[in-house]
Amino acid sequence: MDLKPPHRFYITTPIYYVNDVPHIGHAYTTIAADILSRFNRLRGREVFFLTGTDEHGQKVEKAAREKGRSPKGHADIMVENFMSLWKKLNISNDAFIRTTDTEHVKTVQGIIQLLWDKGEIEKRTYTGWYCTPDERFWTEKEVVQGSCPECGRLVEQIEEENYFFLMSKYQERLVQHIQDNSGYILPETRKNEVLGFLRSNELGDLCITRPKTRLSWGVEIPFDRDFVTYVWFDALLNYFSATRYLVPAAGQAGSGDFWWPADHHLVGKDILTTHAVYWSTMLMALGFPLPGNIFAHGWWTVDGKKMSKSLGNVVNPGDMADKYGVDAFRYFLFREVTFGLDGDFSETALMNRVNTDLANDLGNLLSRFLAMAERYFGGEIEVPSGNTTELNPFARDCVHAMIPAVDDTHYAHWSNLRFNIILDHIWNIIRTGNNHIAQKEPWKLARTDINELKVVMFNIWNALRLSAVSLYPFMPDTAEKMWKQLGLRSLVDETKQSLPATSWDTNEYPKIYEWDWMPGYEIRVSKGEQLFPRIEMKKKAQPGKDEKPPLAPSEKEGTGGFESGNLITINDFAKIQLKIGKVLSAERVQGSNKLIKLQVDTGENRQVVAGIGKSYAPEDLIGKRIVVVTNLQPAKLMGVESRGMLLAATDDSGEPVILVPERDVKEGAGIR
């Protein structure tokens, strides 16, 4: 089959089970897909972003019966939960597929007929352990003490005739494909899980039907009307069927003008096997190209505990968006945790992010700049003559902070979905802007050097402009508000107008990402509403009447404001050697989910073992500059020697946050 041209970008979420109430996991996957979709649209690609709902199977049939509805009528009501949430979260999906769509059903029937005709399906009697809630058969070896290994509920033994997809014959071919395509399954840990499973287990054939005597709510098999398709077989085919009837109009022209294959399938780690194994082998049997990438992200806990209805701690993403704002919620999910790892959600952590990153850093920079621009120049921003990147140290700092958007090497952050690193680079621009104000003191320049003040104001304007265009995929409303307050017209339209002819076919970016881009019209900034008002955190309980309040630090006698037991002398501190190190390589310590072994250049190569594995993936650390204690006595952690210690802070969730220098400093530089 013909493949889609390179300027088309196709991304999917799983289709969510219609009986579910949308939770943070659903929102996480869908916002991730939205971020990638918006980013690729800015780069000039035609985008097809697909999401939807899975509406067949026993659970839907049972729930509908209990409510006195038809299965389709029940699905029509439940699907609104997802459609309304995606609208609230500003999701820009191009299509919403439902497995009850007539065109999807026809495609599923056509595919299963094709596999039958090719000899990839056969009918046989099967006896196995069946889990009704998961609608899945398990082997004797897989069942755990009479219970389903997935959900823990009791299974029942069933003997019946069914149709089987001959999946087993594709085992070696699938292993080879994963080995030959390093980015096919991401992150690396998930790829290793799938390879480990395939190498240590004999892959069986897949039961892809259910007899109508047991289940009638499904897609009827075209060559045997006594059976319907297994819900997963039906569901996985949505990724292909949507390209046949839901694609944007431009994609429907021409017989070979297809959107397949998908660039990314985004899934939760709990459904990795069905995508990496079932779906991959189905495509191999059909002779269709496999997707570019299957990315399985981690799960969210809440305040350290697994989400469950019984605990009453399931996070409602709609409520969080209403309470803290859509963009703040979107930002938190992808700034807080490395995409691919498990994360812990707490409202305290979210509020801290709003107050520190969004209100203090970003909001404060914008409001200070707008106030000064209005006060000193009536809101007009003048472009200084000769203000090139080469002649302007501040511009160089900002452009360096923009590396994910302008450098081919760091484009890998986008292709590998390293959202938190991209956001960290954007925040380097914002921090650079705030530091520039502190160093240049515009209020003094207003009295002594008006020309220098114009340069400073242009610098801050440009830093905010670059921040806005870079933040757009993550926080679209915030970025557009910033854009307009900066005296510009439309971020999306002006980005499209600045596109090189073939930016989608290279790693070339729109000119709008460059320091010297100008809109071609007079720039006059205007104040708007405060982007992110600070959130008042609840104060800790005051001491009771009979309790004596603790002394303030300044009240402690003879300590200069500190506990005497914590004081060290300057000579004590001088014994500690702190150096800047650059991470050359990183890998997990075998047998530990916490320890990562780093090879670090601190002027010399040294091995450092750090307990940061729950917060950082090894691949996210490579190239990062860190602070290392270099004269620490060597120690062995789980048998691996560590010659040093990196410095990290601990946030409210208890997770480590690596300390990094504000600017690029050469590896081996001492810290004094």
Domain shared by 486 and 609, yes or no: no
User: Which tops the pLDDT comparison, 480 or 401?
Assistant: 480
- How many Å apart are CA 314 and CA 22, to the nearest integer? 10
Predicted pLDDT of residue 333 = 97
Indicate the number of domains in the chain: 3
Predicted pLDDT of residue 3 = 61
Token pair, residue 355, equals 């107050």
Query: Would you call 77 helix, strand, or coil by DSSP?
Result: helix
pLDDT over threshold 60, residue 458: yes
Tell me: the pLDDT tens digits for 280-338?
A: 999 999 999 999 999 999 999 988 888 877 778 889 999 999 999 999 999 999 998 99
Tell me: the pLDDT tens digits for 560-584?
A: 444 445 577 776 676 788 888 888 7
Tell me: the pLDDT tens digits for 50-72?
A: 999 999 988 899 999 999 999 99
203 domain-assigned: yes
Predicted pLDDT of residue 541 = 46
Domain shared by 408 and 486, yes or no: yes
Tell me: the pLDDT tens digits for 335-382?
A: 989 999 999 999 999 999 999 999 999 999 999 999 999 999 999 998
Q: List the CATH number of the domain containing 620.
A: 2.40.50.140
561 domain-assigned: no
Predicted pLDDT of residue 618 = 78
Q: List the CATH number of the domain containing 228.
A: 3.40.50.620
pLDDT over threshold 60, residue 250: no
The share of the chain scoring above pLDDT 90, in percent, equals: 56
Domain shared by 237 and 97, yes or no: yes
pLDDT over threshold 80, residue 470: yes
Strand order in the sheet with 294-297: 95-98, 46-54, 8-17, 264-268, 294-297, 185-186
On the 0-12 / 13-18 / 19+ scale of CB atoms within 10 A, 560 is exposed
Placement of tokens 């019966």 in the chain: 65
Domain shared by 142 and 287, yes or no: yes
Domain shared by 361 and 227, yes or no: no
Query: Would you call 84 helix, strand, or coil by DSSP?
Result: helix
Per-residue pLDDT band at 652 (split at 50, 70, 90): low
Query: Would you call 410 helix, strand, or coil by DSSP?
Result: helix
- Largest interatomic CA distance in the chain: 91
Which stretch of DSSP H or E encloses residue 221? strand 220-221
Per-residue pLDDT band at 626 (split at 50, 70, 90): confident
- How many Å apart are CA 669 and CA 628, to the nearest integer? 11
Say how many C-beta atoms besides its own lie within 10 A of residue 658's C-beta: 18
Domain shared by 269 and 384, yes or no: no
Per-residue pLDDT band at 425 (split at 50, 70, 90): confident
320 domain-assigned: no
Contacts 24+ apart (CB under 8 A), 58-63: 58/132, 58/135, 58/215, 58/217, 59/17, 59/19, 59/133, 59/135, 60/18, 60/19, 60/217, 61/215, 61/216, 61/217, 63/19
Domain shared by 117 and 221, yes or no: yes
Predicted pLDDT of residue 389 = 60
Contact (Cβ atoms closer than 8 angstroms) between residue 282 and residue 236: yes
Per-residue pLDDT band at 635 (split at 50, 70, 90): confident
User: Which tops the pLDDT comparison, 240 or 599?
Assistant: 240
- How many Å apart are CA 73 and CA 535, to the nearest integer? 43
Q: List the CATH number of the domain containing 439.
A: 1.10.730.10
Strand order in the sheet with 625-629: 605-610, 596-601, 578-588, 625-629, 645-646
Tell me: the pLDDT tens digits for 191-227?
A: 999 999 999 999 999 999 999 998 899 999 999 999 9
On the 0-12 / 13-18 / 19+ scale of CB atoms within 10 A, 633 is exposed
- How many Å apart are CA 337 and CA 534, to the nearest integer? 22
Predicted pLDDT of residue 404 = 46
Length of the chain (residues) = 672
Final residue of a structural domain among 447, 478, 513? 513
458 domain-assigned: yes
Token pair, residue 215, equals 């289940």
Tell me: the pLDDT tens digits for 196-206?
A: 999 999 999 99
Placement of tokens 């700092």 in the chain: 397
Tell me: the pLDDT tens digits for 433-443?
A: 999 999 999 99
Token pair, residue 479, equals 């970025």
Per-residue pLDDT band at 244 (split at 50, 70, 90): very high
Query: Would you call 93 helix, strand, or coil by DSSP?
Result: coil
Q: Find the range with the poorest average confidence among 14-23, 360-369, 521-530, 594-603.
A: 594-603
Domain shared by 414 and 266, yes or no: no
Predicted pLDDT of residue 32 = 98
pLDDT over threshold 60, residue 254: no
- Most confident of the ranges 127-141, 440-454, 556-570: 440-454
Per-residue pLDDT band at 142 (split at 50, 70, 90): confident
81 domain-assigned: yes
Contact (Cβ atoms closer than 8 angstroms) between residue 99 and residue 54: yes
Pairing label, strands 625-629, 578-588: antiparallel
Contact (Cβ atoms closer than 8 angstroms) between residue 239 and residue 10: no
pLDDT over threshold 50, residue 400: yes
Domain shared by 116 and 235, yes or no: yes
Domain shared by 343 and 404, yes or no: yes
Contact (Cβ atoms closer than 8 angstroms) between residue 350 and residue 320: yes
Q: What's the average model confidence in pLDDT over 126-134? A: 80
DSSP 3-state percent helix, strand, coil across the chain (nearest 5)? 40, 20, 40
Domain shared by 137 and 213, yes or no: yes
Structure pTM?
A: 0.80
Final residue of a structural domain among 297, 326, 357? 297
617 domain-assigned: yes
**What's the whole-number average pLDDT of the chain?**
86
Query: Which domain range does residue 630 map to?
Result: 567-658
Tell me: the pLDDT tens digits for 483-541?
A: 999 999 999 999 888 887 665 556 677 888 888 888 989 999 998 888 999 998 876 44
Per-residue pLDDT band at 136 (split at 50, 70, 90): confident
- How many Å apart are CA 510 and CA 43, to the nearest integer? 6
Domain shared by 490 and 354, yes or no: yes
623 domain-assigned: yes
Final residue of a structural domain among 281, 297, 313? 297
Residue of 238, 240, 232, 234 whose CA lies nearest to 274: 232
- How many Å apart are CA 250 and CA 153, to the nearest integer? 48
141 domain-assigned: yes
- How many Å apart are CA 147 and CA 151, to the nearest integer? 8
